[in-house]
Amino acid sequence: MPPVTKAVLALDQGTTSSRAIAFGRDGRVLGVAQQEFRQIFPQPGWVEHDAGEIWRTQRDVAAQALAKAGLSAGEVAAVGITNQRETTVVWDRKTGAPIAHAIVWQDRRTAARCDTLRQAGHEALFAERTGLVLDAYFSGTKLAWILDNVAGARARAERGELAFGTIDTWLAWKLSNGAAHVTDVSNASRTLLFNIHTLDWDDELLAILDIPRALLPRVVASSGVVATTECEGLPRGMAIAGIAGDQQAALFGQACHRPGMAKNTYGTGCFLLMNTGERPARSSHRLLTTVAWKRQDKTQYALEGSVFIAGAAIQWLRDGLGIISSAPEIESLAASVPDAGGVFFVPALAGLGAPYWDPRARGAIVGLTRGATRAHLARATLEAIAFQSAELLEAMTADAAIHLTELRVDGGATASNLLMQMQANLLGVPVVRPKVTETTALGAAYLAGLATGFWRDEAEIAALWERDRVFEPALSRDAAATRLAEWKRAVERARDWSRDS
């Protein structure tokens, strides 16, 4: 008799680390492993990763998580993949070797190309077809840059020798030993190349960016078996059955299955998504319209606001300034002062995302006086994360004409009670932290497990979602509005600063 399946393995490939988590049928963690990898900064505004290193760390933590959970291949119902989105990899189809470093979503090198596209009058077409703004954040111009700047790349691409993918595609390729060159609809919708209405690559947009269709992966549903594991270092024969970009996976993992439900993920960046149902909703506040997931031939859409630097600002305090020795230390340091002492930190270290979309913004610390200390800067950093998210929700509620009754939160920075209270104070609605905050990985697990029958339906997994703590607003709306207005003044000091990109 074959062993009874006990778990789903989620591969959570993030911007600064690779994680793997095995989840049981009750949605609880059975085994977890995590490993950081290098961040490469060749020039100001450029951010790269070694895709080979990403693969090795992800494979190794997957093996470690299975070992910690005591699971054999036959006991794993499915493997789900969730990933940092927009990060762009191009590799040789025969050797599987990348032809250059991956260009990370934070990278701003193609800002000038986006300006040129706007000046040529293409912005409205891209917005209508893709739901996105023309910004260096997305994969399309990154892919075009690789083709134009790596020797021989364009000719090789046109001959069909090269493959493009975001990180989900790269992992599926490596896991399946090259059998699967696929991406799901949620990741495809972040490329500037995908028509979110027809759910296919758009030939007109490909022509504008001069990208050969032969490079592109096959687009699949977010929930469904696409291949099995056939790689060295992991058990063979496990079904790869779920793929979703990290923020869409978190929306699913937070059980935001109905229109009007929203979540905010506090990771390297902050990403606020609201489920808008089976029709895409257009934004008048420069938010993104994106595919949330596709399952059983039904496609769900979402509105999204993206903050580029959130937890990464805390990492910068640790690694760049050295004012904390570990990320969790920021909580006690920030709590050691009653307020930020008039200090505002605008962490535009990779430009500004929604609602500004300003690639030339740069980080700024304003309001400094002789009495300012590292504690004030630590508190201002936490406040900056909350301020940026408050601006997103302000725009989203205006677009969707829905007043949220609560905001579900997840991600590493939600461990900070101080940050969560700041957020509730600014939003004026309860902030709800679930018992399982690894909802990005959990969403990938759910999508994979639903495809293989490990879980029955969305109602079953929604019943597994549990509250850990609710943070109630403790600031008047007038006071919150005043604080937000002060923040916006600080943002204006940081905007349109860099003239070299």
Binding site as annotated, residues for ATP: 15-17, 268, 311, 315, 412
Which residue ranges make up the annotated binding site for glycerol?
85-86, 137, 246-247
First to last CA, the chain: 62
- Residues making up the binding site: 15-17, 19, 85-86, 137, 246-247, 268, 311, 315, 412
Q: Give 225-248 as a DSSP string.
A: EEEE---TTS-TT-EEEEEEEHHH
Helices (H), 241-367: 246-253, 311-316, 329-335
Q: CA-to-CA distance for 200 and 352, rounded, in angstroms?
A: 29
Whether the Cβ atoms of residue 13 and residue 173 lie closer than 8 Å to each other: no
- Which residues does the annotation place in the binding site for ADP? 15, 19, 268, 311, 412
465: which 2 tokens?
Answer: 């979602």
Annotated binding residues for sn-glycerol 3-phosphate, as ranges? 15, 85-86, 137, 246
Q: How far is CA 245 from the centre of its chain?
A: 6
3-state secondary structure labels for all residues of 403-447: CCCCEEEECHHHHCHHHHHHHHHHHCCCEEEECCCCHHHHHHHHH
CB atoms inside a 10 Å sphere around CB 364:
17
C-alpha separations of 336 from 220, 331, 340, 378, 379 in Å: 50, 9, 10, 10, 9
**Which structure tokens are listed for 27?**
């949605």
According to DSSP, the β-strands at 223-228 and 239-245 are antiparallel
